[in-house]
Amino acid sequence: MALRDRRLTLARPAGVRAGEFAWNALPVFTGVILLLLWEVGVRSKLPAYVARPTTIAAAIPSVIVTAGFWSDMLSTCGAIVEGVAIGSIAGAVLGLLMGRVREVGWFFTPYIRGLYSLPLIALIPVLVLVVGYNDKTRMVVIILSAFLPVAMTTADGARAVSKSFLDVGRTFGAKPYQVWFGIAFPASLPHILAGIDIALGRAFTSAVAVEVLASVPGLGYTLYADAQSLHDDVSFVYVVALAAFAILVRTGVRSMSGRLAPWYRPRARA
């Protein structure tokens, strides 16, 4: 089968392969253009201390060899991974209950929707007063950032389980736990993974916001301190580190989505 697929790939016209290469190279080309515009714009219009791509690239080696950088990286990224894991598990459990048990959905849905629509940055001052100026506040905010979208998407997925699936399960004598874990959970899995993807984006934003507002050591706090000291090149190195980690994690989640729920993968571009 693999040999057949390889032959089909090699048999594609050269024009098709060239078109695919051009399409895949388009984001890289766009990025290079934007970097060039940034470089030229800063050089021609702005003061010398404003960061530009060449000075940021020159600052990377001196920043990443410091112990402080890796300590901040471990603190922030470790908190994000741990908080998203806890929030996603809790959100998936509650979301399944909300979607499959009418009373649970009736009770929790208004509160979950209300908190989901609220910018969590507004809760940070309150949480700081309750929890304190420490990394526990960051963890609570990250957990909430993951819990809310996962609960929402999972509930929507559980409610959207096809009635025919449930009827077939009952016809073949499926027990309640088999309906939950053999039908409802697999059918909701794409929605759970989509919620985790959303949760990661919110978690990065929330983590940086807490570090800045509550003075919690991490990438966000150091980034803000360097920017306040006009060390723009160094602060952008931290931005690049955050962006690289975010892209890596979200790519991993989307790859996992394709493996765990292959039936839900979008069709490839022709």
Which pair of tokens denotes residue 168? Answer: 């077939």
Extended strands (E) in 115-160? none
Question: Helix count (H) and strand count (E) of the chain?
Answer: 12, 0
**pLDDT tens-digit series, residues 185-199:** 777 888 888 889 889
Cα(200)–Cα(206) distance, integer angstroms: 10
Q: What is the CATH number of domain 59-264?
A: 1.10.3720.10
Q: 61 near 124, Cβ under 8 Å? A: no
- Least confident segment among 91-100, 183-192, 233-242, 243-252: 183-192
User: Which sequence spans correspond to the domains of the chain?
Assistant: 2-45, 59-264
pLDDT, residue 270, reads 37
When the pLDDT of each residue in the chain is averaged and rounded to a whole number, the result is 81
**pLDDT tens-digit series, residues 76-133:** 999 999 999 999 999 999 998 888 888 888 898 888 888 888 888 888 888 888 887 8
What CA dihedral angle connects 220, 243, 91 and 113, to 10 degrees? 80
Q: How many CB atoms lie within 10 A of CB 199?
A: 29
**pLDDT tens-digit series, residues 37-86:** 888 888 888 777 778 888 888 888 888 888 888 999 999 999 999 999 99
